Amino acid sequence: MSHTELYPEIEPYQQGMLPVDARHTLYWEQSGNPNGLPVLFLHGGPGAGSAPNHRRFFDPAYYRIIIYDQRGAGRSTPLGEIRDNTTPHLIEDIETLRQYLSIEQWLVFGGSWGSTLALAYGEAHPSSCLGFILRGIFLCRKSEIDWFLYGLRHFFPEAWQEFVAPLSLHERKDILAAYYQRLMDPEPAIHMPAARAWGRYEGRCSTLLPSPETVNYFTSDTVALGLARMEAHYFSHDIFLPHNALLDNVKKLHGMPATIVQGRYDAVCPIISADDLTHAWPQAEYVIIEDAGHSAWEPGIRSALVQATDKFKTMLKPLK
């Protein structure tokens, strides 16, 4: 197998549901080598959930691959639940899962919102981490949220016009509040069309070249509802962390190996955030993919991520 292609499809050797409080239960799975180096996959969104292909970034002979769905996302229950759902909750869920699986330390892999959560988790629990592989950097600053809601129209005007079409001219002055109101409505007839519109917008803007497969994935019911609700919830609350906390605290990670992979033409999470992160974390390896947008499935990004996980095999040895 070349080191630029995904590893073959595999099935989990173990999976389960882990209650983390009275309200939320997390889906988790393990695949690959039970005695291998533990690696944690953090999905994007927030709220997008994980997918079987996410296992394929990792050599199953070497890695013990842990994948789970964050609160309110994917197969975790209840889907789209915003109560008791904050970044500090998600950080502690990761620690709960680590302890539940009797893992001392793990490599942390995350893209987009997964990169946000990886940084937040690593800064809160650096002793639990062996290193980081991050893609499509999102620091969830107000400028980035405003870009997603308004700035993207400069590159994807058709997608943006479709996104705001359900809103009145007055509502378009605060797109987030208008969508939040619809997405949190208990009636599926109201929240599902809003969720699909949100998902379609993000899907259409996520790749350098048009990708119907990406749009279909983002508009499927489970992904759309989890993604749209969680993104609107987290964006409305500045991700429940102090201003600029991720960059201010990245010095806690300076001693750990890290690779950052960024698409040059990432419209959803523009490269300026990755650039800001690498200036704050000069020790990290920084790989710019010159012919890619945001999606992890674009050829250049996909290859760079597989190469990164392969490179970490030579840097980190499995725990005894």
Task: List residues with catalytic annotation.
Answer: 112, 266, 294
What are 13's two structure tokens? 């050797």
* DSSP-assigned letter for residue 9: P
Beta strand 106-111 with 37-42 is: parallel
Closest among 142, 119, 109, 156 to 293, alpha carbons compared? 156
What are 45's two structure tokens? 């969104």
The CA-atom distances, in angstroms, between 3 and each of 57, 259, 274, 302, 307 are 10, 16, 24, 10, 6
Closest among 126, 85, 89 to 108, alpha carbons compared? 126
Q: Which residues pair with 204 in a beta bridge?
A: none
Q: How many CB atoms lie within 10 A of CB 10?
A: 14
Q: Are 138 and 231 in contact (CB under 8 A)?
A: no
State the DSSP string of 133-187.
EEES-----HHHHHHHHTGGGGT-HHHHHHHHTTS-TTGGGGHHHHHHHHHT-S-
90: left (phi over 0), alpha (psi -120 to 50) or beta: alpha
Please give the Cα distance from 253 to 235 (Å, whole number).
25
Q: How many CB atoms lie within 10 A of CB 118?
A: 26
